Amino acid sequence: MRRLAIVLLIATAATAQGLPRPTPPPGGHPTAIDLVVPVTYSDGYQTFGSLLRPDGVPPACGWPLVVHVHPLGQSRGFQLEFQLMLAGQGYAVWSYDVRGQGAAFAANPLHPNRGTTLWGPVERCDLVEQIRFVAANPAWVGIVDATRVAVVGVSQGGAHAWSAAAWSEQTFTVPGRPPATMPTIACVAPSDFVADTCDDWIRHGMLFSTWWVEAIDSNVPGLALDAVWLQQCRDAFLAQNPGSLLATFTAEGRPLGARLQQSSVPIFYAHAYHDLVDHPLTAVRQIEAMNVPRRALLGTIGHDVPNNAEEREFRRALTLRWLHRWLWQELNEVEAEPRFTLAELPLDGVVRDDPTSLWNRVGLETVTTPAAATRYWLHDDGGLRLAAPVAPQVDATVQQTIDPQATHFTAAQYLAQPAVRALPAVLAACPLRERVYSFVAPAESELAASATLHARLVPQSARWLLAAAMTVQPPQQGAAEVLLAADALVSDQSVPGVAETRVLRLPPVAARIPAGATIRLRLRNLWLREHPMQPRLEVAPLFHDFRVDVVHGDPVGSWLELPLQPVAPKLVVGRQWLEVAAPTPIVARLRGGAVRAGLPYFVAVGMSGQTPGAVYLNATIPIDVDWLAIESVASTSAPFAGFLGFLDAAGDAACGLDLAGIPLPQGLNGYRLNFAAFVWDGPWAPTGAPSNAAEVQLR
C-alpha cells in the first residue's frame, strides 16, 4: 500500500509538470453553451451552430476547438452527452447543422443550394467556413484556440473528418464561392464511414451500394438533397453506368485516397465489421498505407449492427485520449500501442445482443496481411480441405437467371419502387444461386484478420458478379450460422470462356471459433448481409443473366487462406472510466480459452502505459513496469483481488481492484490504469502466454 501511495504522488507530480491541459475538477469542468448561433456561408445559405466549452477562466492558450459533425439527417444536438463530456475535459466543442439538415432545412426554403450533396466539395467548403467563423467570432477571442482544431464525427460526420484530414492546409474552389483553404487540422476521429466516398457508393468501381440507392430515392422528412447531384446519381444508376458517376466525382475532387497518402494529420478511425453502410476494409487499407500516427477500432457500434454499451464507451475513451495527445500534446502513448484494436464478435446471440456484455479485444499491427494463414482448397464435393484436389474434378457453377416473367425487374423499377428492392421480391425475380464449401474446426481457435479467396474462374459472360460470404456455425444444437465476412468479385470486361485468376481479400473480423464449429464459404450471385444483421442486399443486383464457373484442381484450382490461430488469453474490464473523486471497484475477467482450463495465471496493473511492455519468460506482457505494477503483480492482498490464481473449468477467472479507500488526487485525470495478465502453460512452467492490455481511464 505504501508503494501504491508513492506511485500516485509521482504520477500527480508528472501531471502537474508535464501537462498544459488544466486539470478538470471532479465530474469535469462546468460547461457553458451558446445554444443558437446563426452562421451564414459565402453563398448566402444560413445555418446554426452551438458552442459548448468549459465555464470559467480559460487557460492562456484558450481551449482547443473540436468540431463535432452529426450523421446524415440528424442535427447538431446529436451525441450531446458525448459533446458535454469533451467540453468538461477541456475542449471547446462546436457543432452545426449540416446543409439541408437540422434547423438549416427550414431556414433556406428558396435557396438554390438548399440541399446537401452528401459530403462533397460544397460541404467541405462549409466546414472551412464554420472553422473560420468560430476563429473570428469576437465573443470567443481568448476562449477558443482555433489554431488547434480536431474534427470528429459519426457517419456523415466521419466522412467530413476524413475530408478534413485529406484537405488540411489545402486550397480548393467551389463554383460561386471564394477560394477556400482548409485550416491546419491537428487530428481527426472519423467513425462509421470509410475513407473514400467512392469506395462506398460504387463498390469496386462497378457495383452500386444498396443504401446509396435507397438514399437517392428517399423522401426523408427534414433532409434536402441537392437536385443536381441527385439527378447525376439517378442517371448513372438508370444507365447502369457507374463509370460516368465516378468520373463526375473525380472531377469534383471527392476521391480522398491520394490526398490521404500525403496527409500529416493523425487519424483515429472506428467502424463496425458489418455496418449497414459498408464494411471497413477499404479504410483499413488506407490506414495501413499511411505514414502518419493512426489507429483503428473495429467491432461493434454503427449502422444497424448489434449495440454494446462498453464498446461505445471504449471508443469514446480512446477518442478522448487521441484528442489529449494531439491537441494538448499529452504523452499518453495512444499512437504507440497496437495500430488495430479488434472487438471479438460473440457467436452466441444472447451474449452478442446484450448491450452490457464484455467483448474480448485483440491488438494487432496489421489485419490484412496476417503473419500466417492456412490454405483450404475448394473441392468439387463441397469440402474445404488442407489437401489439394486430385483430378478429375468437376467445376462448380454459379449462375444467375432472371425469371422471364419478372418484367418489372429493371434498374428503373428497382430505383423507383421500394417494393421491387425488397429482398423477398428480389429473390423471387432473381433467385439466389450458390455453391457452398465447408469444414469442421478440429480445435478451438481464433480469427483476428482478413481471410483471402484465391479463385480460378471461367466467366461465361462479359459482366458478372460472384459474392463470397464466410460464415461460422457453432456446434451446439440449434445454433445460428453467423456471418463473419463478405465481399464480391465483379467484372464487366471478361472474355466468355477464358479462365481468370482472381484474388479477393475479405474484410477483417475477430471471432473465437469453438471446436466442432462449421466454417462455410458461400459463393453466390447476390451479395447479401445476413445474421446477426437483418437480411438485405449489400449492393444492387445485376439486371441480366450470367454464369461463372469455379475451377477445382491443383495447381490451377481455388482456395481460401484462413488465418486461424490458437486462442490467446483475453483480459477485459467491466468499465472504461474511473472517477478519481469517487473510485468504485473495477472487475476484470481473464478468458484463457478451454485449452487452458485449470492453469495458473497472474495479473498486474500499472500507470506507466503498455509499451514497450515487460519481458517475462518467453513473452512480452503489454504493461510497463512501475511501482504499482510491482506492488500488484500476483498479489493476493487488498486492494488487489484475484491477481494470482487458477483458471476455472471453462478457462476463465475474475479479478478486481478496489481503490475506494485510497485518496486519489484529481491531478490523475487523463491517466490510465493498465491491466495485463499471463497464463502459464502448466503449474509454474517456463513458458506461457500473455493477454492483451485492458485499460480504465481516470477522469
For range 469-484, the mean pLDDT: 96
In the structure grid, which three cell numbers stand for residue 514, read together? 469453438
Angle at 647 between CA 644 and CA 652, to 5 degrees: 115
Q: What is the pLDDT of residue 649?
A: 97
Cβ proximity of 114 and 126 under 8 Å = no
Q: Is pLDDT of 15 > 60?
A: no
- Residues counted in the chain: 699
List, for residues 563-616, the tens digit of each pLDDT value. Answer: 999 999 999 998 999 999 999 999 999 999 999 999 999 999 999 999 999 999
Q: What is the pLDDT of residue 134?
A: 98
Mean pLDDT of the chain: 94
Distance of CA 560 to the CA centre of its chain: 25
CA nearest neighbour of 657 among 606, 589, 587, 607: 587
pTM: 0.95
For range 651-667, the mean pLDDT: 94
> Which three-class secondary structure state does DSSP give residue 307?
coil
Read off the pLDDT band of 16 (50, 70, 90): very low
Residues 6+ apart with CB under 8 A from 199: 278, 282, 283
Cα-Cα end-to-end distance for the chain: 22
Q: What is the pLDDT of residue 8?
A: 53
For range 387-395, the mean pLDDT: 93
Q: What is the pLDDT of residue 5?
A: 52
For range 520-533, the mean pLDDT: 96
List, for residues 116-143, the tens digit of each pLDDT value. Answer: 999 999 999 999 999 999 999 999 999 9
- Residues 485-512 as b or e (16 or more Cβ within 10 Å = b): bbbbbbbeebeeeeeeebebbbbbbbbb
The label of the residue with cell 455453391 reads: 435
For range 462-481, the mean pLDDT: 97
Residues 6+ apart with CB under 8 A from 565: 372, 445, 446, 447, 448
Separation in Å, CA 249 to CA 86, 236, 362, 632, 669: 35, 12, 37, 56, 45
For range 639-652, the mean pLDDT: 97
List, for residues 17-62, the tens digit of each pLDDT value. Answer: 345 899 999 999 999 999 999 999 999 999 999 999 999 999 999 9
Cβ proximity of 622 and 613 under 8 Å = yes
For range 454-460, the mean pLDDT: 97
Q: What is the pLDDT of residue 95?
A: 98
Q: What is the pLDDT of residue 218?
A: 72
Q: Give the bridge partners for 453, in sequence order.
A: 504, 560
The Cβ of residue 424 has, within 10 Å, a number of other Cβ atoms equal to 9
Q: Is pLDDT of 306 > 90?
A: no
**Helix, strand, coil shares of the chain as percentages rounded to 5?**
25, 30, 45
CATH 3.40.50.1820 fits 28-197+252-358, yes or no: yes
> Which three-class secondary structure state does DSSP give residue 230?
helix
The label of the residue with cell 480548393 reads: 172
Q: Is pLDDT of 391 > 90?
A: no
R_g of the chain computed on alpha carbons: 27
Q: What is the pLDDT of residue 14?
A: 42
Sequential DSSP letters for 517-558: PEEEEEEESS-EE-TTSPPEESBPPPSS-EEEEEP--SSS--
In this structure, the strands spanning 518-524 and 434-440 are antiparallel
Q: What is the pLDDT of residue 600?
A: 98
Q: Is pLDDT of 11 > 60?
A: no
For range 244-257, the mean pLDDT: 93
CA nearest neighbour of 377 among 362, 388, 369: 388
The Cβ of residue 262 has, within 10 Å, a number of other Cβ atoms equal to 12
Cβ proximity of 317 and 335 under 8 Å = no
Separation in Å, CA 290 to CA 81, 286, 298: 32, 6, 18
> Which three-class secondary structure state does DSSP give residue 376?
strand
Check residue 189 and report its DSSP letter.
Answer: E
Q: What is the pLDDT of residue 555?
A: 81
In the structure grid, which three cell numbers stand for residue 338, read together? 497496437
List, for residues 175-195, the tens digit of each pLDDT value. Answer: 999 999 999 999 999 999 999
In the structure grid, which three cell numbers stand for residue 130, read together? 464554420
For range 396-414, the mean pLDDT: 97
Give the whole-angstrom CA distance, residue 68 versus residue 66: 6
Give the whole-angstrom CA distance, residue 180 versus residue 199: 25
Q: Give the bridge partners for 67, in sequence order.
A: 94, 151
Read off the pLDDT band of 4 (50, 70, 90): low
Cβ proximity of 499 and 456 under 8 Å = yes
Q: What is the pLDDT of residue 9?
A: 46
Angle at 82 between CA 77 and CA 86, to 5 degrees: 115
Q: Supply the CATH classification number for the domain 374-565.
A: 2.60.120.260
Sequential DSSP letters for 628-682: HHHHHTT--STTEESSEEE--TTSEEEEEE--TTS---GGGTT-EEEEEEEEESS
List, for residues 321-364, the tens digit of each pLDDT value. Answer: 999 999 999 999 999 999 999 999 999 999 999 999 999 999 99
CATH 2.60.40 fits 579-698, yes or no: yes
- Domains of the chain by residue range: 28-197+252-358, 374-565, 579-698
